[in-house]
Amino acid sequence: MMEAEMSEENMDEVKVLEAQIEQLQAEVTALQRQQQDNEKDVTFHLRGQIQDAMLYMCGQRRGGGQEKVLSRLNEGVEKLEKDLKRQTQMNGISLNSCTTKTLQSSDSKLVQQLCVSGHCSELIFQVEFHLSEVKAVEKSERTISNLNVVLDASDLQNFSSFLSGVEESRDLLLFFRTLRTFLDRCKDRSRTFQHFQEKYPSVVSLPGGCRSEVMTLNHSELPGCVLFVHWSVEVSREGRVTPKIELVTKTPAKALQLFPALGGAAEAFQSLLRILGPEAAMESVIRAVSLPQDT
C-alpha cells in the first residue's frame, strides 16, 4: 500500500516537472522569435543608414539635397585652391606632383617613399625621401631618411655644397627656405644686369646672358681695356645666402700709364659697394667709362 502511494506521488511530481519543462520551452521559443524580430529591425535600420551614407557620398541623399552636397564639395575645392594659391604666393614654391609608395606597414611602424616635384621661380626640382612613422601609445614619431634632391640646372656650383649638407641633415624646411632666398638673389642680379645692359648698350654687354654671373664693361677709346663685374651668390652649408660682387679689370700696361686710377678700380668699387649699395656702385663705374651719348 505504501509503495502504491509513493508511486502516485512520483507520477504527480513527474507531471509537474513536465509541465514546467513545456512552459520553459515555450518561453525559450518566444524569446528566440523576439530575438529574430529584433535582428530584422536592427538589420533593416542599419541597412537604411548605410544606404543613406552611400547615397550622401554620391550626392544622392534621400529626400533630395543633391545640389546642396555638390555645392558644399565645390566650396571645399575652391577653398583648397585659394589656400594653395596663397601658399604659393607666400613661399614662391609650386608643387606639380606628389607620389607615395608604402614600403612597410605594421601596427607599430609605417614606412613610405615620397617623391615631390615642383618649381621655384624657373628652377625645377625633385625631392625623394623615406618617411617613417613609429606608432606609440601617447604619440607617434616621424623621421625622414634617404633624402635625395635633384635640381634641373647645370650652373649651381655654389649650391652643391649646401645640397650635400641638406641631404645629410635631412632638413627639408631649410632646403625650401634657402632655395627661395637663393633664387630671389639670382633674380635681383639678372634684373640689375638687364637694366644696365638696356640703359648703356654701347658699354655693357652680357656674354652669358642676363642670368650669368658676369657683366662686361668696354670703353671704345681704350682698346683692350675691359672691366668685369662678377656677381656670385654664395650659399653656406648652413643655408646662409650671401651675394658677392667684385670688379675685375683687364688692363694693358699702356692703358695703366695713361689712366693709373684703373689699377685701384677694384678696391674703389668695394668702397662704393659699402657706401652706396650694388646698383649705385655699378652705375658709378659704368658712367665713369661710358660715352657721352649714353649718359
Per-position pLDDT tens, the chain of length 295: 544 555 666 666 666 666 667 776 776 676 666 666 555 554 455 455 555 555 555 555 444 555 665 666 666 666 666 666 666 666 678 888 888 888 888 888 888 898 988 888 788 889 998 988 888 767 778 888 899 998 887 667 778 888 889 999 888 888 888 988 998 999 999 999 999 999 999 889 998 888 889 999 887 666 677 888 999 999 998 899 999 999 888 766 655 555 555 656 788 888 889 998 999 999 988 887 775 544 4
Question: In sequence order, which residues have a C-beta less than 8 Å from that of residue 276 and are 6 or more positions away?
Answer: 284
Phi-psi region of 63 (alpha: psi -120 to 50; beta: other; left: phi over 0): left
Considering the domain architecture, whether residues 289 and 195 belong to the same structural domain is answered as yes
Rounded to a whole number of angstroms, the distance between the first and last alpha carbons of the chain is: 150
Domain end call among 165, 182, 199: 182
Is residue 243 in some structural domain? yes
Is residue 48 in some structural domain? no
Residue 97, strand partner residues = 117
Instruction: Give the domain extent around 173.
Output: 90-182
Considering the domain architecture, whether residues 206 and 286 belong to the same structural domain is answered as yes
Supply the pTM of this predicted model: 0.64
Query: What ranges in 200-258 are assigned the alpha helix state H?
Result: 253-258
Considering the domain architecture, whether residues 213 and 290 belong to the same structural domain is answered as yes
Domain end call among 132, 167, 182: 182
Q: Report pLDDT for 42.
A: 47
For residue 83, give the 3-state DSSP assignment.
helix
- Cell readout for 172 is 627639408
Considering the domain architecture, whether residues 289 and 237 belong to the same structural domain is answered as yes
- Cell readout for 219 is 670703353
The identity of residue 281, as a single letter, is A
Considering the domain architecture, whether residues 112 and 152 belong to the same structural domain is answered as yes
Q: Which contacts qualify for 247-252: CB closer than 8 Å, 24 or more apart?
A: 247/285, 249/225, 250/224, 250/225, 250/226, 251/224, 251/225, 252/224, 252/225
**What are φ and ψ of residue 106, in 5° steps?**
-150, 180
Domain count, the chain: 2
Considering the domain architecture, whether residues 243 and 161 belong to the same structural domain is answered as no
Is residue 76 in some structural domain? no
Q: Report pLDDT for 70.
A: 65
Q: How far apart are CA 206 and CA 193, in angstroms?
A: 8
Q: Report pLDDT for 192.
A: 94
Considering the domain architecture, whether residues 177 and 240 belong to the same structural domain is answered as no
Considering the domain architecture, whether residues 156 and 209 belong to the same structural domain is answered as no
Is residue 274 in some structural domain? yes
Q: Report pLDDT for 209.
A: 86
Is residue 206 in some structural domain? yes
Is residue 161 in some structural domain? yes
Considering the domain architecture, whether residues 147 and 171 belong to the same structural domain is answered as yes
Considering the domain architecture, whether residues 194 and 288 belong to the same structural domain is answered as yes
Domain end call among 182, 217, 250: 182
Considering the domain architecture, whether residues 177 and 206 belong to the same structural domain is answered as no
Considering the domain architecture, whether residues 130 and 110 belong to the same structural domain is answered as yes
Residue 232, strand partner residues = 244
Q: Report pLDDT for 86.
A: 66
